[in-house]
Amino acid sequence: MPNKFEILGAIRDVEIIAADRGVRSRLSLNKEFGVGRWRKMKGIATIRWYDGRIMESEIHWYEAHGIGRV
């Protein structure tokens, strides 16, 4: 699924929501992107929606060392 938004600038106030076995999606993440030590993260960013609106939003993503952000 293509992104419906673009991140403008840096993501700030980054926090770990879950790590290792606490990441419920880790089996599907391992299958799709490779085995890694997955962490679910959240942060605040300025984003531009596909329709041109710009706003501050809380965004969530997964990341693993050597794999990157997903």
What is the residue-level pLDDT of the chain in tens, covering all 70 positions? 466 889 999 999 999 999 988 999 999 999 999 999 999 999 999 999 999 999 999 999 999 999 999 9
Q: Count other Cβ atoms within 10 Å, centred on residue 26.
A: 21
**Residue 61 CA to chain centroid, in angstroms?**
2
d(CA 11, CA 7): 8
d(CA 63, CA 41): 7
Which residues are paired to 61 by β-bridges? Answer: 41
